[in-house]
Amino acid sequence: MANGNGTAGFHPSTNNLGVNLAFTKFLFVIPRREDDAAVQRLRLAGGLISRGFFNDYDADGSREVQPHETIQFLVADGERHGDSGIAAARYAVQASGKYRPRLQELELELQRRLGDAADVISIDGAERTPRYTSSEMYEFAYKRAAPRKSGRVAKNAIVLPMSKSGEWWKKSSLERHTYFYPHVDAGTGCPVHGHAQTAQEGIGTIYRRLYHNPDGYERQGEFDFITYFECEDEYVATFDKIHHGLRDIARNPEWLYVEEGPLWRGRRVLKW
Ligand code: HEM
């Protein structure tokens, strides 16, 4: 092994911090106009970019073989309040696959087909093997994890891009590990739950995905991670409770090092 990643030499999908197993792309669409023609154009563009992708609206996590290239259309919940950035996006789409250029093509095609009718903000992510997950953590947080359900049932999607501070990345990987487990906080000397136990209530009820920045961390103007969640209406409150809990540094000191991006809430739809 030449570089500690389990791969010999440089490969485009790897960097010094991990191996990208698959890619995802979130495209947030901010319409410049909301007239019928612009909406028609968006719908047409959505239909065209989804060709060749399996539509995850009817995802079924219990299938033995999962499709390779998938797409999920989202529409923002309620009125948009933000006037810039992803907070202003009325529509979003997530496309995933093993081959990154395919997702890049999809982005270009969407932009081309929307023309001046909308602005598009793109955030890329990559799946990686869990870094802080022991076999015990696997038992606790993954084995009982909510499977993916159809958008007809799990209607809500929440996207939260975020980064970690320079101070976090300066810590050794073993020290970072601690924050995900119940531990004694070095700062206060008090026992704390840590990330996984604080979020425990969501394990069986909220489908979750963590994506890493495919090009590495601490990149200027980019996020380190995108977190993505789906759930049924009744568990939106559970998500909010967990999110609130994770922000409580008395329970989860990890959040001292978290810089949250804008939280985007939407509904899963079959098409725009
Ligand atoms: C629903 C219950 C949840 C459970 C059981 C859970 C559990 C975990 C675990 C075990 C890890 C470590 C992954 C690894 O080994 O690399 C992790 C990472 C992470 N989780 Fe959660 N989590 C939950 C909810 C959340 C929520 C609601 C958020 C955001 C609001 C979140 C954000 C993150 C982030 C950004 C990371 C990556 C942190 C890093 O690598 O430094 N999680 N989570």
Instruction: For residues 236 and 256, state if they share a domain.
Output: yes
pLDDT at residue 256 is higher than 50: yes
Instruction: For residues 30 and 88, state if they share a domain.
Output: yes
Instruction: For residues 146 and 123, state if they share a domain.
Output: no
- What percent of the chain is modeled with pLDDT above 70? 93
Instruction: For residues 255 and 171, state if they share a domain.
Output: yes
Counting atoms of ligand 1 from 1, which one is nearest the CA of 162? 35
Structure tokens at 87: 């907070």
Q: What is the pLDDT of residue 17?
A: 64
What pLDDT band is residue 66 in, cutting at 50, 70 and 90? confident
Residues 229, 240 contacting (CB under 8 angstroms): no
- What pLDDT digit, counting tens, does each position of 207-220 carry? 999 999 999 999 99
Cβ of 204 below 6 Å from ligand 1: no
Structure tokens at 119: 């602005």
Which of the listed residues 108, 127, 146 is the one where a domain comes to its end? 127
Question: What is the separation of C-alpha 90 from the centre of its chain, rounded to a whole number of angstroms?
Answer: 18
pLDDT at residue 11 is higher than 80: no
Q: What is the pLDDT of residue 68?
A: 87
Cβ of 71 below 6 Å from ligand 1: no
Cβ of 143 below 6 Å from ligand 1: no
Which of the listed residues 106, 127, 148 is the one where a domain comes to its end? 127
**Which residue has tokens 């802080």?**
132
- What pLDDT digit, counting tens, does each position of 74-118 carry? 999 977 667 779 999 999 999 999 999 999 999 999 999 999 999
Instruction: For residues 186 and 251, state if they share a domain.
Output: yes
For residues 49-60, give the mean pLDDT. 94
The alpha carbon of 12 and the centre of ligand 1 are apart by a number of angstroms equal to 26
Mean of per-residue pLDDT scores for the chain: 92
* Residue range of the domain that includes 37: 14-127
Residues 72, 157 contacting (CB under 8 angstroms): yes
Q: What is the pLDDT of residue 80?
A: 65
Whether residue 139 lies inside any domain: the answer is yes
The pTM assigned to this predicted structure is 0.93
Q: How far is the C-alpha of 257 from the C-alpha of 169, rounded, in Å?
A: 9
Cβ of 203 below 6 Å from ligand 1: yes
Question: What is the separation of C-alpha 42 from the centre of its chain, rounded to a whole number of angstroms?
Answer: 23
- What pLDDT digit, counting tens, does each position of 117-141 carry? 999 999 999 999 999 999 999 999 9
Q: What is the pLDDT of residue 8?
A: 39
Instruction: For residues 262 and 184, state if they share a domain.
Output: yes
Residue type for position 170:
K
Q: What is the pLDDT of residue 78?
A: 79
Q: How far is the C-alpha of 79 from the C-alpha of 90, rounded, in Å?
A: 8
The alpha carbon of 41 and the centre of ligand 1 are apart by a number of angstroms equal to 37
